[in-house]
Amino acid sequence: MDKHYPLDLHVFEEKEEIVEGMLVCQECGRWYPIMDEIPQLLPDDLREQKPELVWLEKWRERVPENVLREGKPFTLR
């Protein structure tokens, strides 16, 4: 996963646990989704762009501006 620490946490939906959210590395610009309570901390080459972009679009209003602008490994623009 990410070589940097700490990661910023953005919570989109929370019940007893964080259900949906995002971890963002300010150092390298990488973002990692939290989907169905599970943080997806995968290296770039194991990430699936298409479903992650669908997810990103779904939460677009909540995603930090810098992630939308220049997030890695991919983003909406």
Binding residues for Zn ion, per CB under 5 A?
2, 4, 25, 27-28, 30
User: Is the CB of residue 32 less than 8 Å from the CB of residue 39?
Assistant: yes
Identify which of residues 23 and 56 has a Cβ nearer to Zn ion in the complex.
Answer: 23
Q: How far is the CB of 30 from Zn ion (least distance, A)?
A: 5
Six token digits for residue 59: 């939460």
Q: Residue 12 carries which side chain, given as an amino acid letter? A: F
Q: How far is the CB of 55 from Zn ion (least distance, A)?
A: 20
CA atoms within 13 A on the CB side of 55: 18
Identify which of residues 19 and 39 has a Cβ nearer to Zn ion in the complex.
Answer: 39
